[in-house]
Amino acid sequence: MSADQPFKSQFLKTMQERGYIHQITHPVELDEAASKGPITAYIGFDATASSLHVGHMIQIMMLRRLQQAGHKPIVLMGGGTTKVGDPTFKDTQRPLLTDEQIKANIDSMKVSFARFLTFGDGPTDAVMVDNADWLDKLGYVQFLRDYGVHFTINRMLTFDSVKLRLEREQPMTFLEFNYMLMQATDFLELERTHGCVLQMGGSDQWGNIINGVELIRRVDQKPSFGLTTPLLSTASGQKMGKTVGGAVWLNADMRSPYDYWQFWRNTEDADVGRFMKLFTDLSMEDIARYEAMQGADINEAKKVLANEATRMLHGEEAAHAAAEAARVAFEVGSVSGDMPTFEIAAADLEAGVVLAALATDAGLAASRGEARRLAQGGGLRVNDAAEADANRTITSADLVDGVVKLAAGKKKIVLVKPV
RNA sequence: GGGGGAAUGUCCCGAGUGGCAAAGGGGGGGGACUGUAAAUCCCCUGGCGUACGCCUUCGCAGGUUCGAGUCCUGCUUCCCCCA
């Protein structure tokens, strides 16, 4: 964990210099193991949504670094744990997902993983597993006898996740309390079936990861390791990952490559270097050059960051198109076909549509009232002209080059196209 | 089992005297300034309607009242104390 003694293994060296490491259970031993030969490591992902989002990127990138350094990554999908439902959000009882939904989610997420990892049967090829495969089969009594004996309540109560809850006098259910045991058995299972020796995750997972390490040591008398990443926030203290218009999904059908590019383009100055290290494959030397940029020049670095990040996820072509669309939109002030579009029946447009309704349907506002407020505040623009009256009708007379350009604020742009 | 508290604008925290679309934050959105950044300042933040307006909201279900987030009854969930 300390930066004082340099790591020997390529993997940890990279991890450290690029800023992925927050804590490691046994840094020296892990370094030793990783420098001797290929090791296997895993990260767990929930299957609650049909797409991963940028918040998952740091984890995905860790697995990528692992594979790049000649080791074997395992993607653990929480098919089993998702079935129970994450109890952390106790306020809103989230509707439980069906087996089919979970399966569909996993399939859908796999697409994104495949952009960053090479899957297959080779020694360093990534594999994907689903903890439903073993959690579903657990017998309660058997589970208690096999694993329950290795956990003391005394210790479990010392974990931050539990302690915080108790201090705030918030309820913690027994189910939730058992969660850490289930996660620990995941690690044990992977250690036995795949020879997995390392679990990685966000810093909030530290306690859970330790439990797994501990369990393996007690049950199988084998060493294993845990590594966590720092909590990612922007330089100004915001939680990383949100943007105008909600979650930044990785799947192209949920968030366009254009939006994804925009997300990275809007990175804060102070974060550019850090994000480049974490989210691109650029060399440390290149990054150092970009990091040195000052003032407005740093915008060039942001473009590079956006290009690289988008290229990895959506491919070279999509990245180019997104960059070009952005250039046209912001630097030329014109329109480009790669901007998000909203299709409307030509007949409807011919007849005329109330602007507030159109802006709402096109996704620029959540309701007509919001569109009205937006217009009154001067944030709604039609063909680049601010329009304070959201009640005016938009007709085919407003078409410019075959589209009506609607914008909410400076960055949310939608082209309305008659079909 | 007994006693005492709590649930508020469906993003979160949180004030609330019988007249309340309901204080104040945070978060979010927009504008100004800039560099598609940060910081700062200003505006907005339940839905529908062009509008006097209508509708829906304060755990759930009833009741008192011209009128209830506010009073009464029952229920649900959570917290604390006693057993």
Q: In this predicted model, what pLDDT tens digit does every residue of A17-72 receive, in sequence order?
A: 999 999 999 999 999 999 999 999 999 998 877 888 888 899 999 999 999 999 99
Distance CA A125 to C1' B8 in A = 54
- At A230 the pLDDT is 87
Check residue A164 and give its pLDDT.
63
Q: Please tell me whether any atom of strand B lies within 7 Å of the Cβ of A357.
A: yes
**In this predicted structure, what is the pLDDT of residue A390?**
87
Contact A49, A206 (CB under 8 A): no
Assigned token pair, A125:
């090829």
Helices (H), A94-234: 99-116, 132-135, 140-146, 153-156, 160-167, 174-194, 206-220
**Closest C-alpha to A186, from A113, A144, A129:** A129
Which bases of strand B sit closer than 7 A to a protein CB? 10, 12-13, 27-32, 34-39, 43-51, 78-80
Mark A236-264 as b/e (b = at least 16 C-beta within 10 Å). Answer: eeeebbebebeebbbbbebbbbbbbbbbb
Query: What mean pLDDT do residues A164-174 have?
Result: 62
User: Which pLDDT value is given to residue A188?
Assistant: 96
Give A90's pLDDT tier (boundaries 50, 70, 90): very low
Here the tokens at position A108 are: 């859908």
> In this predicted structure, what is the pLDDT of residue A332?
80
Q: What is the DSSP letter of A127?
A: E
3-class SS of residue A243: strand
What is the interface pTM, i.e. ipTM, of the complex?
0.81
Residue A13: per-residue pLDDT: 96
Residue of A171 and A297 predicted with greater confidence = A297
Residue A359 has pLDDT above 60, yes or no: yes
* Separation of A93 CA and B69 C1' (Å): 24
pLDDT per residue as tens digits for the range A181-192: 888 999 999 999
- Residues 202-221/A with CB < 7 A to strand B: none
Please give the structure tokens belonging to residue A186.
């995941």
Give the CA diameter of chain A. 76
pTM above 0.90, yes or no: no
- Of these ranges, A154-168, A242-256, A379-393, the one predicted with the greatest mean pLDDT is A379-393
| CB A328 under 7 Å to nucleic chain B | no
Token pair for A207 = 């306690």
Cα–Cα distance, A261 to A265 (Å, whole number): 6
Q: Which whole number is the average pLDDT over A226-247?
A: 72
Angstrom distance, A326 CA to B57 C1': 42
**Tell me, what's the pLDDT at A244?**
53
Amino acid at A360: T
For range A166-179, the mean pLDDT? 66
The pLDDT value recorded for residue A171 is 61
Residues of A designated catalytic: 48, 53, 56, 90, 94, 183, 204, 239, 242-243
In b/e form, how buried is each residue of A311-332, taking b as 16+ CB within 10 angstroms?
bbbbeeebbbbbbebbebbeee
Euclidean distance between CA atoms A332 and A323, whole angstroms: 13
**CA trace torsion A141, A142, A143, A146 (10° rounding):** 130
Distance CA A334, CA A318 (A): 19
Adjacent-strand bridge partners of A44: A76
**Which has the higher per-residue pLDDT, A326 or A242?**
A326
Q: Give chain A's mean pLDDT.
A: 87
Distance A20 CA to B74 C1' (A): 57
